[in-house]
Amino acid sequence: MAKIIRARNFRWDVPLKEYKTEGTGFRDITRQTLLGEGEGEERLNFLTRYFEVQPGGYSSLEHHEHPHAVLIIRGGGEVILQDRVEPLHLHDCVYISPHTWHQFHATGQEPLGFLCIVDRERDRPRLPDTDDLETMREQPEVARRLRV
């Protein structure tokens, strides 16, 4: 059945969840899955999620096989993409290719909110070990930005 999920100030009529239920390496981030989790007719092959990072917060530094399609719909910030740091502005779109290290940071005064679309069936993220971190920290701008 077709349906509309109403928005109000960057919250939707779906559960507001913790970013992850285990682990560390992230801060002040929430998740809402807008579409795709239903069973039966409402099942989709992809999930449309909204993540919101409060000022000073960040997502996990991770990589995985499945790609991400990201679109910023609130505020701005910065993203680590493997060996570089890129600024993010409203409506910028980010393609995160397979196995690219990435971490989103809300570096401004307002929250950073973004849609992240992924295949419903996908692999689990991998977190960095000390060798990975050492390699990434060879880039000074990455070293300054990354948090674990």
Binding residues for a second copy (CB under 8 A): 1-7, 10, 12, 34-36, 41-42, 44-46, 48, 67, 69, 71-73, 79, 81-82, 86, 88-98, 100, 102, 115, 117, 119
Shortest spacing between CB 3 and a second copy, in angstroms: 5
* Residues 126, 62: Cα–Cα separation, whole Å: 5
DSSP 8-state code for residue 128: -
Shortest spacing between CB 111 and a second copy, in angstroms: 14
Nearer to a second copy, 35 or 133 (CB): 35
Nearer to a second copy, 24 or 69 (CB): 69
Residues in a beta bridge with 43: 37
Using alpha carbons, list the distances in angstroms from residue 132 to 11, 67, 143.
36, 20, 12
Backbone angles phi, psi at 125, to 5 degrees: -65, 150
Nearer to a second copy, 2 or 109 (CB): 2
Shortest spacing between CB 109 and a second copy, in angstroms: 20
Residue of 100, 94, 62 whose CA lies nearest to 76: 94
Residue with tokens 């809300």: 106
Indicate which residues carry an active-site annotation. Answer: 116
